[in-house]
């Protein structure tokens, strides 16, 4: 029961914000956030920080690392106008990404072995077999090929229709993955069709941007794979030179005749020294 002798609290008027005050504050904040001088300073800051100073564009945030995922959100939420806050946020993510790569969670400018694969004659067969059979085949091929990539410490970069691109820490790992994948596909059959894998490996220092790898070495690796026949693994000679010579049998070196490839680059077919 309330105390009747307690003095009543005075009913004082509550302070109210001036009409339009929140809007004026927001206008001031937005004006500061888009100041040309501050934008120039943040741009200079990003150029001095470690990592990709263009971090935040669609290419650089296309991967699945935490920095790339957050970077996509920052870019989407604040892409309508120049923004100091956005640039500072991307600066922090830029450094985060650079530190992740230096700690071994990304590859940066390190040498990697690049593997490209695809299925010979898949498009023609799929046209006759229909979508259901084609999808079923791709599912079964994916289990085998991507399983081999993972088993040999590879990283799947992207799927390319009926093929893929993957990178590996060594040529040895990439070669073993490709040969294991080809061997595993011998047990795959859909509607009487057995897939025939062709693959190519090249070694180099492509630039890693977001979740992708770009550069001349990537293009060369793709051209090497294009020259392979069904059931064949081709390696560029620089890649072959990094293999254990007694573990593999190599074919005669031949010039890679492909647009965009160095004229003096040669390739060799590679298989295990002993039968699977």
CATH code of the domain in which 192 resides: 3.30.70.1230
| pTM, two decimal places | 0.68
Residue 259 lies in a domain: yes
Residue found under tokens 């590996």: 168
Do residues 62 and 196 share a domain? Answer: no
Please tell me the predicted confidence (pLDDT) of residue 4: 52
Task: Give the count of domains, the chain.
Answer: 2
pLDDT in tens, 185-195: 999 999 999 99
Which domain, by its residues, includes 261? Answer: 112-272
Please tell me the predicted confidence (pLDDT) of residue 209: 80
- Is residue 178's pLDDT more than 80? yes
- Is residue 67's pLDDT more than 80? no
Do residues 151 and 201 share a domain? Answer: yes
pLDDT in tens, 87-145: 777 777 666 666 655 544 444 468 999 999 999 999 999 999 999 999 999 999 999 99
- Is residue 71's pLDDT more than 90? no
Burial status of residue 109 (CB atoms within 10 A of its CB: 0-12, 13-18, 19 or more): exposed
Do residues 149 and 266 share a domain? Answer: yes
Residue 35 lies in a domain: yes
Helix 122-129 to helix 131-151 angle (10° resolution) is 140
Please tell me the predicted confidence (pLDDT) of residue 110: 84
Do residues 48 and 127 share a domain? Answer: no
Please tell me the predicted confidence (pLDDT) of residue 103: 44
Query: Which two three-digit tokens encode residue 238?
Result: 């620089």
Please tell me the predicted confidence (pLDDT) of residue 12: 54
Query: Which two three-digit tokens encode residue 68?
Result: 């790339």
- Among residues 105, 132, 149, the one where a domain terminates is 105
- Is residue 48's pLDDT more than 70? yes
Do residues 143 and 87 share a domain? Answer: no
- Is residue 68's pLDDT more than 70? no
């Amino acid at each position: 029961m309330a105390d009747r002798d307690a003095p009543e609290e005075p009913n004082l008027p509550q302070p109210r914000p001036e009409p339009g005050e929140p809007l004026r504050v927001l206008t001031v904040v937005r004006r500061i956030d888009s100041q040309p001088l501050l934008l120039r300073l943040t741009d200079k800051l990003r150029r001095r920080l470690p990592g990709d100073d263009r971090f935040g564009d669609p290419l650089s945030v296309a991967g699945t690392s935490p920095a790339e995922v957050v970077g996509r959100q920052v870019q989407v939420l604040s892409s309508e106008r120049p923004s100091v806050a956005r640039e500072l946020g991307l600066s922090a993510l830029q450094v985060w990404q650079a530190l992740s790569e230096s700690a071994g969670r990304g590859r940066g400018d390190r040498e990697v072995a690049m593997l490209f694969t695809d299925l010979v004659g898949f498009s023609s067969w799929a046209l006759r077999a229909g979508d259901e059979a084609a999808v079923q085949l791709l599912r079964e091929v994916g289990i085998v090929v991507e399983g081999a990539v993972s088993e040999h410490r590879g990283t799947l970069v992207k799927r390319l229709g009926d093929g893929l691109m993957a990178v590996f820490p060594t040529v040895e790992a990439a070669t073993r993955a490709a040969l294991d994948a080809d061997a595993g596909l011998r047990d795959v059959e859909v509607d009487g069709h057995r897939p025939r894998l062709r693959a190519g490996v090249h070694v180099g220092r492509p630039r890693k941007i977001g979740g992708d790898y770009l550069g001349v070495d990537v293009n060369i690796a793709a051209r090497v794979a294009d020259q392979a026949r069904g059931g064949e693994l081709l390696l560029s000679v620089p890649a072959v030179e990094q293999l254990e010579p007694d573990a593999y049998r190599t074919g005669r070196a031949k010039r890679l005749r492909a647009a965009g490839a160095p004229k003096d680059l040669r390739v060799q077919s590679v298989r295990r020294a002993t039968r699977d």
